Structure 1
């Protein structure tokens, strides 16, 4: 039945659905899991890394984590080529706002501008939706630390903890169970590791399979935002400290 309505982005089905948008969302559900957790001290983004080849040299750069400006970072799930286009657009918008008003762009305004572009690609013939979802971690003076997610339709929403990509339902269930409003940044990092260890199709969790980033305030310079994309050694240390591997071995026994 859907064949009559999925040949164009702009054709609605009798139920009012856009099948091309749903196809894009289905493609994202096959991508690696990405998790975002809001804490009292900052925001954590953690992603499952899909290693295509051990021979690939990426110079230690992250595949699914991007720095947008001094106050925002993001994680993606889906087509990284589409993500690069939207990330570059977000960076240009952020710098344009900074140049015009001499202050960093508020998080939600920037996200809304990117989502306007995503929504536009669902309503014009000859275009296709962007096949990527985002997790945005940001900070501004009015709302402090914030976590947003957006999908190919152009919808966006704020969260305390959420996930996108594969095993999304299982990750959401675990986050609902273990999330608390007073989590410290360290506790949020450990929770992210715990959730990924239970949702990823892997018996051995290590830095080769994970990407990690945090957004927090400097303790030395008040008001200065620090975004950190973690090195492999830092991720391995966190996994060891969290005791996830010990718990996993106990479960297997």
Structure 2
């Protein structure tokens, strides 16, 4: 009986479910993994990079992470095309706020705009929900460093550490046991992020080619967004005791 509700975004099933939203969540659960951690001196993003072909030119390509403004960035899991639409919308909203008020947009206010758009796509006919989840990280003068997770339904919440994508439940179990609330600095966050990604990827020797890292920290009182290069990631893996194995030529 539930099948006739599958094609209707706005119609609830007799059990009170919106199947299109649940299908969007299913798409996210099969996407590449991403994790974010809030530290006392910054906020860290880490993600799996799924390279589909050795012929792909990946120079400078950030597959899962996007800078929205100087003080805010996101990691995504789900359909990349959907993510691009929301990222462009968020960038435009951030710049409009900066133009109007001559200051950076507060993180939660930006997230609220994104989630309003997401929710609208679950409410009107002829549309489908965005098949993407966001980990939004940033800093503002009101609440300092912040981390939020948003869902296709438009729901969002603040987190100390969060994971999205494939094997996110395994990541949550590691974060619950190893993340120290109020006692995690950026160095500890990097080590824990490597451990969590290794768990999500089910490997003891993660490769620098298949990982992405970025962070937002304060320098001279201003937020700075940094994307780790390949050498930075190799050093991070070595410091975490998970050096990648060299393949035989």
Aligned equivalents of 1:188, 1:204: Cα separation in 2: 18
Q: Does 1:15 align with 2:21?
A: no
Alignment of structure 1 residues 61-210 onto 2, 5 Å? 61-180=61-180, 181-210=182-211
Separation (CA, whole Å) in 1 of partners of 2:63 and 2:154: 23
2: CA distance, partners of 1:138 / 1:65:
13
Structure 2 distance, partners of 1:187, 1:139, is: 19
What's 2:216 paired with?
215
Paired position in structure 1 for 2:50? 50
TM-score by length of 2: 0.95
TM-score for both structures, normalised by structure 1: 0.94
**Residues 44-69 of structure 1: CA deviation (Å, up to 9, x unaligned):** 11001111011100222211100000
Query: Relative to structure 2, which stretch is displaced further, 51-60 or 90-99?
Result: 51-60
- Cα distance between partner residues in 2 of 1:43 and 1:60: 22
Q: Distance in 1 between matches of 2:57 and 2:207?
A: 18
Contact 2:204 2:242 in 1 (8 A): no
Match of residue 224, structure 1, among 219, 222, 225: 222
Superposed CA RMSD: 1.3
* Separation (CA, whole Å) in 2 of partners of 1:73 and 1:87: 9
Structure 2 gap segments, 5+ residues each = none
Moved over 6 A (4+): none
* Aligned-pair CA distance for 1:16: 1.1
Report Cα offsets for 1:87-111 as digits up to 9, x if no partner.
0000000000000000000000000
**CA displacement, residues 116-147 of structure 1 (integer Å, 9 cap, x when unaligned):** 00000001100000000000011000100000
- Partner residue in 2 for 1:242: 240
Question: What is the aligned residue count?
Answer: 244
Unaligned runs of 5+ in 1: 249-253
Note the C-alpha offset of 1:245: 4.3
